[in-house]
Amino acid sequence: MSDTGGGHRAAAEAIREALYRRHPGEVEATLVDVFRDYTPFPFKSFPELYPWLVNHGKSSWGASFKLSNTRQRAKILSSTMYMTVEGSLKQMLRDHPADVVVCVHSLLTRPTMKAMRTLEKRPPYVVVVTDLVSTHYFWYDRHADRTLLPTPIAYERGLKAGLSPATMRITGLPVHPRFNEQLTDKPSARAALNWHPTLPTILLLGGGDGMGPVSKIARAIDERALNCQLAIITGRNEALKAQLEAATWSQPTYIYGFVKDMPRMMAAADILATKAGPATISEACIAGLPMVLYDAIPGQEEGNVDFVLENNAGVFANQPRAAAETIEQWLHEGESALRARAANARRAAKPNAVWEIADEVWEYAHMPPIPTQARKKFTLKDVAEQIGLDL
């Protein structure tokens, strides 16, 4: 994995915890931030660069995502990257001998497989795709022993990438086991949080870094003086938290920084306003929480919006005023309409995904090492041959 966004680590931690619970005392699972710990510059800086690139260069990010997202281009780019990080990945495999290797990051899928195929024998390789719908071709390597996918559309993309149906399975996205455990009924959740017991409740998320138009959406909701209460999570953005805490509000408003009790907060809410991150959408569906999506990363999160819309689990409103107007409309429609939207979200959920994934990983961990035809060092000539150049 790597900390380029919070979803990769969250998925890895969820799978590890499910393995520990299924097989207490029988599993040792190590999380490796490959970019930070095992690659040279500029790859080493990806965890720090990713949030900045996404938030300050959305159009460029989206264009590069779409431009690179073909079967042949993904193959070429992965091979080129491998030339730079080959030694690092081989060192990683030496440092972490394993019975099974699990990948939860698209940029690492193919290069890690290439490094493993240079070994005389390699452990089984399981890829867990952590993008929900708009999956990049980087995710798919036909040499992977198992590829676990969150949605049928992601599965269809695997077929187009040349993967065999026998090596793929739709499981859903892994959500940490404690999320389900900590979900509770609405009255209990509100009492624990000291929120008003009966007011309709809007939960506004800004992600782990508190980025995006959170403040503008909050003010747009506040201007309407709705009969509701508002909970805002600013993540690690201390300046945003201080700004919101200093404001005067028309309705009961609760401001939080980085929180660890998201299941309780989702259980206590009636409406979720959030960006279209795959992990948040998956959690909201499990909690039965309808969504107003106010932002999506171009390319990789656009399909997430379609997923929510097609399941009638929410809407996309990418302007603060539009988001606030949607919330006002939903509140005016009344409690029965909110319950119907909640039921739609719940039907789209895959609450058992993490257990199914853990069981697959456990099964592959018990398979014998796989003999390979050890490959020679990958060179510029190899890349040129793939794209038809004569050097």
Residue 52's pLDDT is: 75
Q: Residue 17: pLDDT above 80?
A: yes
Q: Tell me the pLDDT tens digit for each residue of 358-372.
A: 999 999 999 999 999
With left for phi above 0 and alpha for psi between -120 and 50, is residue 190 left, alpha or beta?
alpha
Predicted confidence band of residue 246 (pLDDT cuts 50, 70, 90) = very high
Coil, helix or strand at residue 126:
strand
pLDDT tens per residue across span 179-192? 999 999 999 999 99
Percentage above 70 pLDDT, the chain: 94
Residues 77, 107, 28, 99, CA torsion sign: negative
pLDDT at position 208:
61
SS3 (DSSP) at 145: coil
**62 three-class SS:** helix
Q: How far apart are CA 337 and CA 339, in angstroms?
A: 5
Angle at which helix 106-116 crosses helix 71-95, to 10 degrees, equals 60
State yes or no: cis peptide before 42, omega within 30 of 0: yes
What is the value of pTM for the model shown?
Answer: 0.90
pLDDT band, very low/low/confident/very high, at 43 (cuts 50, 70, 90): confident
How far apart are alpha carbons 227 and 358 in whole angstroms? 44
Q: What is the pLDDT of residue 211?
A: 62
* pLDDT of the residue at 7: 86
Question: What is the pLDDT, as a whole number, of residue 249?
Answer: 97
Average pLDDT, the chain: 92
Q: Which residue has the higher pLDDT, 36 or 56?
A: 36
In terms of Cβ atoms closer than 10 Å to its own Cβ (0-12, 13-18, 19+), residue 194 is exposed
- Per the structure block, which two tokens stand in for 152? 């049928």
To the nearest 10 degrees (0 to 180), the angle between helices 278-287 and 7-22 is: 50
pLDDT, one tens digit per residue, over 113-134 is: 999 999 999 999 999 999 999 9
Q: pLDDT for 274-303, tens place per residue?
A: 999 999 999 999 999 999 999 998 888 999
pLDDT of residue 277: 92
Mean pLDDT confidence for 30-35: 95
Tokens of 236: 């690690």
Q: Which helix (H) or strand (E) holds 169?
A: strand 168-170
Going along the chain from its start, the domains and CATH numbers come out as: 7-175+352-386 (3.40.50), 177-347 (3.40.50.2000)
Residue 69, C-beta contacts closer than 8 angstroms, at least 6 positions apart: 136, 137, 299
What DSSP line would sit under 299-335, residue for residue?
A: TTTHHHHHHHHHTTSEEE--SHHHHHHHHHHHHHH-H
pLDDT tens per residue, range 69-106: 999 999 999 999 999 999 999 999 999 999 999 999 99
Q: Is pLDDT above 70 for 267?
A: yes
> Which 3 state secondary structure label does DSSP give 369?
coil
What confidence tens digit (pLDDT) does each residue in 198-236 have? 999 999 998 666 567 899 999 999 999 999 999 999 988
321 neighbors 219 (Cβ within 8 angstroms): no
Distance CA 29, CA 38 (A): 18
In three-state secondary structure terms, 161 is coil
Name the helix (H) or strand (E) containing 57: none
User: What percentage of the chain reaches a pLDDT higher than 90?
Assistant: 82
Whether 387 has a pLDDT exceeding 80, the answer reads no
